[in-house]
Amino acid sequence: MRNKLLVVVLASLLICNLVFAVSQSSRNSRKKPARRIAKAKITDKTFAMAPQVILDSSKSADALFANATIDEMFFSPALTNDTLYAWLLKWESQNTSISIIKRTLDAANLTAKGDDITIETDIKSKIIPVGKAGLGYMGFPTLKDSGKNTPDNLYFTILAGAADANTKPNDVKITDNNDKTLGFYIVDVLFQDNKFFVLFAHFNKTSEVELGIYLQGVKADDGSLLYDKLVEVVTFNNPAGTSSAVCGFDNATNADKIYILYKEYDTRATFQASVALADGKIEEPVELKDDTRDVMYFPAAVISADTVFGLALAKQTFRSEHDMSFALGVYYNGETDTLKTLALKTPKGYQAPMIRSFNYDKGFTIIAQFSGENDSHLVIKNFKSDGTAVAAQKTIGYTRGSMLFFVDASGALWAAYHDFEETSGEAQKTYLGKLLA
C-alpha cells in the first residue's frame, strides 16, 4: 500500500514539470465529434478584476486560435503594464515547423490591440513546445536531432513580445550532446533581468534512469548563452520520475541565486542545491530531510519574494494503512534547521497540492492546486515574510484543466484558464482575469 501511495504523491508533484503535456493521440482526435465540455467554476470575488472571455473558438474574429488545445496557449506581459500578449504555439509533428500566433491585449479592458498575427518559423521539435513567459519576451524549449540515428539536443527559442509577422525568433542551442542514449526533460524555465534560465534533467533513454540536473542561462535580447558550459547542479541515478525537482530564485526581482530542491531515490533524502547567477558557481548540496518509516518528504516549491525566500517541502505522515495526513513546511531565508509549517487548509475530498508562489506586499502569495477525483480546487493565501498569514485562504475556483499565472510589469498577478472539450483538449473559451492588483 505504501508504494501505491508513493506513486500517487509523485505523480501529483510532478505535474508542473512535464513538458510532454499533450499526447499525439489527443491531437489525432481533434476531428472527432465534441463530447463533453469541461467548464471551470470560478469565484469572481476573489479576483481584483473578474475574469472575462478573451477568446471564443466559435467566433470568426478568433479564427487564428481555432482548434487550439489548452496546452498550446499561454500568456506573457509586455514591458509596460498596459499591454499583455496571448500566444499559440502550433505544432503538428516533429517533421513540421512551428507556427506562432500572437494577439496583443489592452490590459485595461482585455480587448485586442490591432489584428492577430502569425509568425512562421523553420523550427521543428521532437517534443511539443510549452511556452514560458518573461517580461517583454516569451520563450519555449524544443528537442531536435540532426538526422536519423543522431543524438538529441535541447534548444530554447526566444521571441520579443513586440515581434511582428516578419520577426525571426532566436533559436539557441543549449546542449552539445554526442550520446544517442541521452535524453532530456525540462524541470522548469525561469525569467528575470532579461534572462531565461533553463533547468533540465539528463536521463538514459534505454534504462529511463535520471542521471542529473543541469542549468543554462540565455540572454533574451541577443540569444547568447550566459555560461561558457552547462552548469552541472547534481548527478545521481534515480528511477524515472523520482527526483521531483523544483526550483526558484532567492528574490523575486533581484536574485543572486537559483535554488533547486530534489530527492535522491536510494537514500530517500531531500536536498537543496544552489547556483550563483553571476558565474554559475554551485554550492555543495545540503541534505534537508530523510524519510522514515512513517514520514515522507517531497520537494514542493521555492518561495520567491522581495522580502523573503523559502524552500517548501510536502510532508506525508502515515498513521495507518488508511490514515494519512499532509502538511507543508518551509525553510526560510537559507535556514535549514527548522521546518516551519505553512498554514494551508486542505479542502475536504482533495489531497496533496501543487504549489506556486509569487511576490506580495511585505511577504508572499501562495497558490495551491489541490487534486480531487473529478477536478482541482485552487486556493490563494497571502503571508507576511515570517510566514504568518495575512488573511484566510480564498477559493479561486475549480477546474478540470490547468490554470496559468503570470506577473505583469507593475507586479500584478494574472490568471488564465479555459473551458475545453475533454476528449481533444481543444479550448472552447479562454478567460483572463487579474487575481491581485
**Is residue 240 assigned to a domain?**
yes
**Is residue 120 assigned to a domain?**
no
**CB-CB neighbours of 386 under 10 Å:** 11
**Is residue 182 assigned to a domain?**
yes
pLDDT score, position 35: 67
Indicate left, alpha or beta for 397 from its phi (over 0: left) and psi (-120 to 50: alpha): left
**Is residue 206 assigned to a domain?**
yes
Entry pTM: 0.91
**Number of domains within the chain:** 1
Average pLDDT of adjacent 10-residue blocks, the chain of 437 residues: 35 36 40 74 98 97 96 98 98 97 98 97 97 98 94 98 97 97 97 98 96 98 97 97 97 97 97 98 96 96 97 92 86 95 93 92 95 96 96 96 96 97 96 97
**Is residue 302 assigned to a domain?**
yes
**Is residue 388 assigned to a domain?**
no
C-alpha cell at 397: 475556483
Show the CA angle centred on residue 391, arms to residues 386 and 396, nearest 5°. Answer: 115
> 215 is in which domain, residue-wise?
1-27+174-355
**Is residue 271 assigned to a domain?**
yes
User: Distance between CA 69 and CA 303 in Å, rounded?
Assistant: 30
Edge-to-edge order in the sheet of strand 246-249: 246-249, 257-264, 269-276, 282-290
